[in-house]
Amino acid sequence: MKQLIEQLRGSEVGDIYPNEPLAPHTTWKIGGPCDVLVVPKGKRELAETIRIAAERNVPWTTIGRGSNLLVSDKGISGIVIKLGKAFDYVRFEDTLVIAGGAYSFIKLSLMTGREGLAGMEFAGGIPGSVGGAVYMNAGAHGSDVSRILKSAEVVLEDGQLAVWNAEDFRFGYRHSALQGTRAVVTEAVFALAHGNRLEIAGAIAAYKERRLRTQPFTEPCAGSVFRNPEGTFAAKLIEEAGMKGTRVGGAEISELHANFIVNTGNATAEDVLALMKLIQQTVEQKFGIRLVPEVLEVGER
């Protein structure tokens, strides 16, 4: 690992943090350290980081703003790549919106609304980055990324830069082709439409107010834990199973929204996993439905 770190530094790929604790980099505030965290200073440096990892047969993982992510208590082996300032930008070309992979998805919704562009109102309360939103096909209120994405620039596992059109992502419910491959979204292009600024701002404000009222975003959490089964809602099943407020260690099912698990202050990844398993077992026993996790589990077990 020392030689890897020296090579990364010699290649001047960006900021390098050996043995970096990952809990501060996640919205759940959970997770052990990684061998080395790299914050690339540009696309070329990102590609070089991935190329070096491949050359040395070292595993690499990407994290954005750390939402929708459960990092193991033992941390993550190899390189963890976090997109930083170099990928935190947005620009407008008529109805096209070009945003860097690290740009806040919530902020992007607000910015497009100010420009009088309609189509991203649903994103007004979705935490995370643009890259993460594309990866997960993030959505809410009857819409999702697949409905507005035109194309995205990605760095592939061999370090090559490519542009994928929307159809290349093979979007499904909270799914994209990125989940079956190794790639990093560096930039996304969204196709929106001209609209009424006041109406757009009103819709965004209403969605945001509803989320703040019904979801525990003032506490460390990772968003929805389970995908909604067809024809119903995970939160409804968990609540009807009488599980609101159930705790394992420092992890607790939110009293505000049953599909959220909050870190009450000292939760471990193992606490969260044990509580998720208990939820799955209880809901399946009562309703015959097996809940599928939406959060991504990464790291050593």
The torsion angles phi and psi of 216, rounded to 5 degrees, stand at -85, 55
Q: Is residue 192 a contact partner of residue 122, using CB atoms and an 8 Å limit?
A: no
Catalytic residue among 45, 153, 187, 294: 294
Backbone conformation region of residue 93, classed left if phi is above 0, alpha if psi is from -120 to 50, else beta? beta
State the Cα torsion 120-190-293-244 to the nearest 10°. -10
Catalytic residue among 109, 151, 224, 254: 224
Helical segments of 65-146, H only: 105-114, 130-136
Instruction: Confirm whether 174 is a catalytic residue.
Output: yes
Residue with tokens 């790291």: 299
Name the helix (H) or strand (E) containing 278. helix 269-287
Catalytic residue among 45, 129, 146, 174: 174
Q: What angle do CA 134, 124, 164 make, to 5 degrees?
A: 15
Instruction: Confirm whether 224 is a catalytic residue.
Output: yes
Residues 6+ apart with CB under 8 A from 267: 28, 30, 220, 249, 250, 251, 252
State the Cα torsion 35-39-42-44 to the nearest 10°. 0
Instruction: Confirm whether 72 is a catalytic residue.
Output: no
26: closest CA among 56, 62, 61, 70?
Answer: 70
241: closest CA among 215, 214, 278?
Answer: 278
Annotated active-site positions, please?
Answer: 174, 224, 294
